[in-house]
């Protein structure tokens, strides 16, 4: 489990922090619930959206997913490069004058 391929590489490492007797139960239950949700969404959600909105229905799912992935991905890259702000942005006195 420590070397499993996943979308987020840190997920298998996070499983080490579960209590030892709940590893299998927690991990498999989480995977089962997420898979069940995706099957329901893809089997009932997409046909309904496509029937209601036409091809625009696919964009209702794709656009928020793409934006969310982009924000997560570029935040991760900025943190890796050390450019991500650690404090809230406060304008300098030069900018406010």
List, for residues 70-94, the tens digit of each pLDDT value. Answer: 998 998 888 888 887 777 666 666 6
Of the candidates 36, 26, 32, the residue with the CA atom closest to the CA atom of residue 1: 26
Provide the token pair at 4.
Answer: 């499993």
Higher pLDDT, 49 or 95: 49
Neighbours of 57 (CB within 10 A): 17
Read off the pLDDT band of 40 (50, 70, 90). Answer: confident
Average pLDDT score over residue span 27-35? 84
Of the candidates 92, 97, 3, the residue with the CA atom closest to the CA atom of residue 15: 3
User: Domain residue spans in the chain?
Assistant: 11-78
What is the pTM for the complete model shown?
Answer: 0.47
Considering all CA atoms of the chain, what is the largest pairwise distance in Å, rounded to the nearest integer? 60
Of the candidates 52, 58, 4, the residue with the CA atom closest to the CA atom of residue 27: 4
């Amino acid at each position: 489990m420590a070397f499993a391929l996943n979308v987020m590489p840190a997920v298998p490492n996070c499983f080490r922090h579960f209590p030892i007797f709940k590893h299998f139960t927690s991990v498999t239950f989480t995977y089962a619930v997420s898979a069940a949700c995706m099957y329901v969404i893809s089997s009932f959600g997409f046909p309904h959206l496509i029937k209601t909105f036409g091809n625009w229905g696919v964009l209702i799912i794709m656009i928020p997913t793409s934006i969310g992935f982009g924000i997560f991905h570029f935040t991760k890259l900025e943190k890796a490069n050390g450019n991500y702000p650690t404090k809230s942005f406060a304008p300098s006195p030069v900018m406010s004058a």
